[in-house]
Amino acid sequence: MSQPGFTVDIYQNEYLTEGAREVNAVVTVTSPDTADFAPRGSQGSAEIIIVDCSGSMASPQTKIAQARAATAVAVDAIRDGVAFAVIAGTQTARHVFPEDGGLAIADPRTRGRAKRMVGRLRPGGGTAIGEWLRLAHQTFIRHPADLRHVILLTDGKNGEASRRLDDAIRLCEGVFSCDCRGVGTDWKVGELREISTALLGTVDIVPDPAGLAADFAAMMEAAMGKQVADVALRVWAPQHATIRFVKLVAPAVEDLTGRRRQAGPQAGDYPTGAWGAAESRDYHVCVEVRPAAVGQEMLAARVSLVVGSPSGPQVIGQGLVRAIWTDDEALSTRISSQVAHYTGQAELVQAVQEGLAARREGDVSTATAKLGRAVALAQQSGNEGTASRLAKIVDVVDAATGTVRLKKKVEDADEMALDTRSTKTVRTKK
């Protein structure tokens, strides 16, 4: 079922055995493929690029040089009319462009001026990522843009108290999205993942500074394609029902359950961030309901896409999750291939991250078991990207059974690449 705008498709086995309570569905949301589908009254886009200019960016010198070049490439990709700024981050944060601390409107002149200022960046000082985020927040809240996006680059660990960074992240939630990149291997995956998760962005490693320009160009191109901001997945459930979880499961796994905002009686909103044309994402919704008699049908959940507009929240797509109780074993035991696939993908993510954590702690037995399970799940689901990255951490004896041996020597970049990209999933055919 769908309404004009976004399409919402539901994949599930709606038949439950007598007494069953759990209803699972995969919800595929697809945005329109039209060139412009932003709601009337939208305020356009704003971009900020944050460049780490701490002292470690001088080792080697090519690191800061490549960061300057990558920032220039990203600036060139900002389309005319978009507001933008560049911030340099050390133990403090300062505006590189525009110098007055605001946002400039992109055109050939302002892009040229920004690139000249970026070319003067020199490394020196410490790393206080919370300060960088605070300055981006301060800059954005003075501008009316609906779509606010940050690219954040660092090469090191945050030097602030963790609480200071946590407070900055909370300040920025709902204000802008943030794609984080770590260059080299001296930064913490957990720190950047905390930022990107809360701010609905991505995190990745760029092992070689020479790869920064291509990565920055891709991030900015994706940002320029966004047209609708702050879309929420609204899930309504009947009385006496409980939403057990709501997870993004494609193109990556992200648990949204704890980010629910109440949206009226029996309904909650889960943030999905900004959308571009012809995007498609999958969500796994699990609802616990009160069992009904055999033969009875229940609306277990109503899933809607909601976006704000000057006239109030607007529903731009909708789908229904049903439950039917049956004593026909052939119906009730039929497994939804979509639900089964993404349940396996979520387990794969967990196995990789728990395996890597055990490996870092020297727990060889647990690391071997978890990463072996990950190898088996990656093969079963056809997740070739994760499988190839796992093969750099373990020697695979038998992929089907998950029999592996930990490699004695592993490059830091390979371990961090597996960690940062562990949440990426492959889609199942509908």
At 406, the amino acid letter reads L
Q: How many CB atoms lie within 10 A of CB 417?
A: 21
Report pTM.
0.94
Helices (H), 141-291: 162-172, 189-198, 212-224
At 237, the amino acid letter reads A
Which two tokens mark 30?
A: 């697809």
Q: Please report, for residues 237, 415, 427, the alpha-carbon distance to residue 383 in angstroms, rounded to integers and kept in the order given.
A: 33, 17, 9
What CATH code would you report for 345-420?
Answer: 1.20.120.1690
Q: How far is CA 273 from the centre of its chain?
A: 9
Q: How far apart are CA 142 and CA 128, in angstroms?
A: 23
Q: How far apart are CA 255 and CA 233, in angstroms?
A: 13
Mean pLDDT on 39-48: 78
Supply the mean pLDDT for the chain. Answer: 95
Superfamily of domain 45-224: von Willebrand factor, type A domain (3.40.50.410)
Share of the chain above pLDDT 90, in %: 92
Pick the CATH number of 7-37+228-332 from 3.60.140.10, 2.60.130.10, 2.60.40.3670, 1.10.3720.10: 2.60.40.3670
Residue 357 has pLDDT above 70, yes or no: yes
Say what the pLDDT of residue 3 is: 39
Say what the pLDDT of residue 310 is: 60
The CA-based angle 344-422-388, given to 5 degrees, is 90
DSSP per-residue codes, 281-328? EEEEEEEE-----TT-EEEEEEEEEEE--TTS-EEEEEEEEEEEEES-
Q: How confident is the model at residue 293 (pLDDT cuts 50, 70, 90)?
A: very high
Say what the pLDDT of residue 33 is: 87
Say what the pLDDT of residue 4 is: 46
Residue where the block lists tokens 């992109």: 106
At 9, the amino acid letter reads D
- pLDDT tens-digit readout, 216-241: 999 999 999 999 988 999 999 999 99
Q: Please confirm whether the linkage preceding 4 is cis (ω < 30° from 0).
A: no
3-state secondary structure of 274: strand
Which two tokens mark 107?
A: 């055109």
At 253, the amino acid letter reads V
Of 418, 413, 308, nearest to 356 by C-alpha is 418
Q: How far apart are CA 377 and CA 222, in angstroms?
A: 30
Instruction: Name the residue with higher pLDDT: 4 or 267.
Output: 267
Mean pLDDT on 234-249: 97
Pairing of strands 7-11, 83-89: unpaired
| Whether 134 contacts 91, CB under 8 Å | no
Residue 360 has pLDDT above 50, yes or no: yes
Helices (H), 54-161: 61-76, 108-118, 129-140
Q: How far apart are CA 70 and CA 63, in angstroms?
A: 10
Say what the pLDDT of residue 313 is: 83
Torsion of CA 380, 386, 389, 394, to 10 degrees: -40
Which residues touch 168 (CB under 8 Å, ≥6 apart)? 129, 130, 131, 133, 134, 137
- H or E element, residue 332: helix 329-332
3-state secondary structure of 229: strand
What 8-state DSSP symbol labels residue 19?
Answer: T
Q: How confident is the model at residue 264 (pLDDT cuts 50, 70, 90)?
A: confident
Of 31-40, 84-93, 388-397, 404-413, least confident by mean pLDDT is 31-40
- pLDDT tens-digit readout, 75-134: 999 999 999 999 999 999 999 999 999 999 999 999 999 999 999 999 999 999 999 999
Q: How confident is the model at residue 2 (pLDDT cuts 50, 70, 90)?
A: very low
| Whether 87 contacts 178, CB under 8 Å | no
Q: In terms of residues, how long is the chain?
A: 430
Q: Is the dihedral of CA 249, 252, 258, 263 positive or negative?
A: negative
Which residues touch 409 (CB under 8 Å, ≥6 apart)? none
Domain boundaries, the chain: 7-37+228-332, 45-224, 345-420
At 56, the amino acid letter reads S
Which residues touch 295 (CB under 8 Å, ≥6 apart)? 324, 325, 326
Q: How confident is the model at residue 430 (pLDDT cuts 50, 70, 90)?
A: low
- Which backbone phi and psi does 210 adopt, to 5 degrees? -65, -20
Instruction: Name the residue with higher pLDDT: 43 or 357.
Output: 357
Which two tokens mark 320?
A: 């229904």
